[in-house]
Amino acid sequence: MFGATLLLAMRQIRRHLLRSSLTTIGIIIGVAAVITMVTLGKGLTAQIQKQIASLGSDVLIAFPQETDQNRQPRPFKQDDVIAVRQQLAGVRSVAGEVNQNVQAFHNGQNWSSKVEGVSDAFMDARGIGMDQGRRFTPAEEEAGANVCIIGPKVLQEIFVAGISPLGEQVRLNDVSCTVIGVFASRAQGGNNQDDDNSVFMPLKNVQRRFTGADTIGYIVISYDPAYSSATIQQSLIDLLRERHHLQSGQPNDFNIIDSAALNDTVSSVVARLTMAVAAIAGISLLVGGVGIMNIMLVSVTERTREIGIRLAIGALAREVRLQFLTEAVVLCCFGGLIGIFLALGISFGLAKAIDVPFIFDPFVNALSFVFSAMMGIIFGYYPARRASRLDPIEALRHE
Amino acid sequence: MTGESLIELEGITKTYGQGTAAFQALKGVDLSIAQGEFAAIMGASGSGKSTMMNILGCLDTPTSGTYRFKGVEVQAMSKDQRSLLRRRYLGFVFQGFNLLARTSALENVELPLLYRGEQKALRREAAMKALDLVGLGPWADHTPAELSGGQQQRVAIARALVTEPEVLLADEPTGNLDSERSIEIMELLSQLNRDGISILLVTHEAEMAAYAGTIVYFRDGLIERFERGHRNGARVTA
Ligand SMILES: Nc1ncnc2c1ncn2[C@@H]1O[C@H](COP(=O)(O)OP(=O)(O)OP(=O)(O)O)[C@@H](O)[C@H]1O
Ligand SMILES: [Mg+2]
């Protein structure tokens, strides 16, 4: 019986193919919009998480921050780095960084890049690996030697492909240095290419020859995961406040980012944003449902005679109701299915276009499908009930 | 073969419309049909024959009066209960055929079996048999639009017969047929009646009514007279 009802529904839909297709467009767009939004949201979250992960895990980053308009924030110095290293329990490695945009010259090529003043400890703290060559020696750091470790992007842009750059000279603005290594790519998912377009030099050298000051941009601290992030952060705040001679009541003139907490915050913000946008997209699904209801009502009116015949022959009210309900649900399921395929295409294309990973989530797809079927039940119920309540004789007389 | 009462009507009235537009199509009909009877209803156009048949077929409810089918009061039944009764006991041939459009003759004939929950293979077989019985086997795949009026009428008859009902109600089943076909159908109905099916038939033609054991004459919503013990094949052979 149910098989026959299903078959009948399919036939009815095929009989009015154009009308059926037009009607399902609402559902198709609704389902496609919801799935696309959720899929892109997932991709975005994954990408942000990856980027945050590239900060390194169990890492705190402290940087100066203005407290009010008139006063410049007090910048960090190498003394602060040393104080953290010596006085803070649970610290694994700590390093300062300062950077400046430069033009890099090599082999007659000119390339816009960035010089970063760093140390061996910096590479430990940020978890940066090496592709070729070696890292800075303590002697080089102490002396501020003219040696550099280039990023993979710089290597690709101005060095000869396939030939080792080690020992080559590269000029940054008017400072020449010898390439001693190439660091491993920090880019995640092809995105933060900026991090790879960089040249590392000993911190002292950058301060002396580029920035001309003994200040540093930020301090990066990697800590023992046995210590809680909150404990480390509190002792770091206490230490930095003391060093900056801040009275109680004065706000911090620095800010601390915790990679784990940042990850949680950003992920939850993106998740909520995704939900909000998906909910708005869901409204179009609702509109689609109303369209289904409308066309089912038209269909019931058109087929009044058919309903009369079925009732006269012995169909029960619930059998007529089931027939029309099945039709609405089948219509919505088709819409849902097409919507899923459409969403697959659109979200794949959009993910490519805005450069986030495409993550197929079977749960969201299944849920949307079930939801569109439910639309069929909800919006098909009233027309189906109307059909089932017809009086057989009056229905038969209908022209 | 005829015996206990199948259908009992007492003071059946039917009023269409309301207020000044009200029209009383049946004005108090008393009628009793026995199990196995073959009754013909005759009367002028507009005398209330179809109205009567719709009530007898449990499709419509009387405005007042009592209708007992196998001793059960029908007017007290719900719509679904009447559907179940029709499904189980009745076969109905409508005056206007009432076939499903754009649906093959075979599927039209299968429909009552579908609602009886029969399996597909069985439905096919029984429907084919019923179509063969009315001489429409070769037209099984045609839709009503592709059939002549007479052919459509025969599909409607096949649909009423396919469930092998206990009672067959036919509202002018030969109205669109030539006399040769009409006689064929009447012979078929007589045969079915001899096999035990009770038949109620509306007709305009005395020639057709002659097949029945009882003739009920209608006039202006009332029974004018009966003719019982009529010359009837069933009676003669019984
Ligand atoms: N739905 C209706 N609304 C109002 N009046 C109706 C309705 N159906 C039938 N009538 C009236 O009831 C009367 C009896 O109609 P009915 O169809 O029973 O006649 P009939 O005897 O079957 O006639 P025919 O031989 O032409 O088929 C007619 O006068 C008709 O106008
Ligand atoms: Mg009539």
Indicate whether B28 pLDDT > 90.
yes
Percent of chain A with pLDDT over 70: 96
Digit-coded pLDDT (tens) for B157-193: 999 999 999 999 999 998 888 888 899 889 989 999 9
Distance CA A371, CA A80 (A): 58
Residue A355: the pLDDT is 85
Residue in this structure with the two tokens 């940054």, named with its chain if needed: A172
What pLDDT is attached to residue A69?
60
Q: Is the predicted pLDDT of residue B1 greater than 50, yes or no?
A: no
Q: Is the dihedral of CA B191, B194, B196, B201 positive or negative?
A: positive
pLDDT for the residue B234: 42
**Scanning every residue of chain B, which has its alpha carbon at the shortest distance from the alpha carbon of A394?**
B60
> How many domains in chain B?
1
Q: Which residues of A touch B79 (CB under 8 A)?
A: 317, 391-392
Picking from A40-49, A297-306, B103-112, B215-224, which range would have the lowest pLDDT averaged per residue? A40-49
- Mean pLDDT for the stretch of residues A69-98: 87
Ligand 1 pocket test, candidate residues B20, B41, B47, B208, most atoms within 8 A of CB = B47
Mutation pick from A305, A306, A310, A313 vs chain B, by most beta carbons of B within 10 Å, is A313
Region A51-71 average pLDDT? 77
Do A310 and B98 make contact, defined as CB atoms within 8 angstroms? no
Q: Which protein residues have their CB within 5 A of the ion that is ligand 2?
A: B 50, 95
Mean pLDDT for the stretch of residues A179-194: 74
Can you list the positions of beta strands (E) in chain A? 59-64, 76-77, 91-106, 109-118, 130-133, 147-150, 169-172, 175-183, 199-202, 215-216, 218-223, 254-258
Instruction: Give the structural domain span for B121.
Output: 5-237
Q: What pLDDT is stored for residue A71 in this prediction?
A: 67
Give me the pLDDT at residue A192, please: 56
Q: What percentage of chain A exceeds 90 in pLDDT? A: 57
Say how many Å lie between the first and final Cα of chain A, rounded: 29
What is the average per-residue pLDDT within A347-371? 91
Residue numbers in B near A318 (CB within 8 A): 80
pLDDT of B235 higher than 80: no
B190 C-beta neighbours (distance < 10 Å), count? 18
- B130-141: pLDDT as tens digits: 999 999 999 999
Residue B117: which of A1, A311, A396 has the nearest Cβ?
A: A1
B4 Cβ contact partners less than 8 Å away, ≥ 6 residues apart: B34, B35
- Chain A residues touching residue B54 (CB < 8 angstroms): 393
pLDDT value at residue B63: 94
Mutate to test the pocket of ligand 1, among B24, B27, B49 (most ligand atoms within 8 A of CB): B49
Binning pLDDT at 50, 70 and 90, where does residue A383 land? very high
Helix (H) or strand (E) holding B194: helix B179-194
In chain B, which ranges are E strands? 5-16, 23-34, 38-43, 64-69, 72-73, 90-93, 167-171, 198-202, 214-219, 222-227
Contact A319 B115 (CB under 8 A): yes
Of A293-302, B49-58, B177-186, the poorest mean pLDDT is in B177-186
Q: Is A120 helix (H, G, I), strand (E, B) or coil?
A: helix
- Percent pLDDT > 90 in chain B is 78
| Closest partner CB to B111 (pick from A1, A308, A313) | A313
Query: What proportions of chain A, in percent to the nearest 5, are helix, strand and coil?
Result: 60, 20, 25
Indicate the range of A222-231, A377-386, B146-155 predicted with least confidence. Answer: A222-231
**Residue type at B131 in one-letter notation:** L
- For ligand 1, is residue B119 a contact (CB within 6 Å)? no
Q: Indicate the residue of A313, A317, A319 with minimum beta-carbon distance to B112.
A: A313
Cβ of B17 below 6 Å from ligand 1? yes
Q: Among A197-206, A264-273, A316-325, where is mean pLDDT lowest?
A: A264-273
Least confident of A147-156, A255-264, B27-36: A255-264
pLDDT band for A107, please (50, 70, 90 cuts).
confident
pLDDT digits (tens, 9 = 90+) for B86-100: 999 999 999 888 999
Higher pLDDT, A257 or B15: B15
Judged by average pLDDT, the poorest of A81-85, A122-126, A246-250 is A246-250
Note the pLDDT of residue A196.
87
Among the partner residues A305, A306, A315, nearest to B115 by beta-carbon distance: A315
Number of Cβ within 10 Å of residue A5's Cβ equals: 18
At residue A1, the pLDDT reads 67
Cβ of B98 and A311 within 8 Å?
no
Residue of B5, B14, B85 whose CA lies nearest to B37:
B5
Q: Phi-psi bin for B73: left (phi > 0), alpha (psi -120 to 50), beta?
A: beta
A213-232 tens-digit pLDDT: 999 999 999 988 888 888 88
Tokens linked to B227 = 């003719």
CA A387 to mean position of chain CA atoms: 48
Please tell me the predicted confidence (pLDDT) of residue B3. 60
The pLDDT tens digits for A240-276 are: 999 888 888 888 888 888 877 787 888 888 889 988 9
The answer to whether A397 contacts chain B (CB < 8 Å) is: no
Ligand number nearest to the C-alpha of B23? 1
The type of residue at B208 is M
* ipTM (interface pTM): 0.92
Nearest-Cα residue of chain B relative to residue A390: B79
- Cβ distance B99 to A309 less than 8 Å, yes or no, reads yes
For atom 7 of ligand 1, the residue with the nearest CA is B16
The two three-digit tokens of residue A60, written as one number: 């705190």
Confidence label for A188 from pLDDT (cuts 50, 70 and 90):
low
Rounded average pLDDT over A296-316? 94
pLDDT at A97: 93
Q: What is the CATH number of the domain that holds B174?
A: 3.40.50.300
pLDDT of residue B236: 37
pLDDT of A307 > 90? The answer is yes
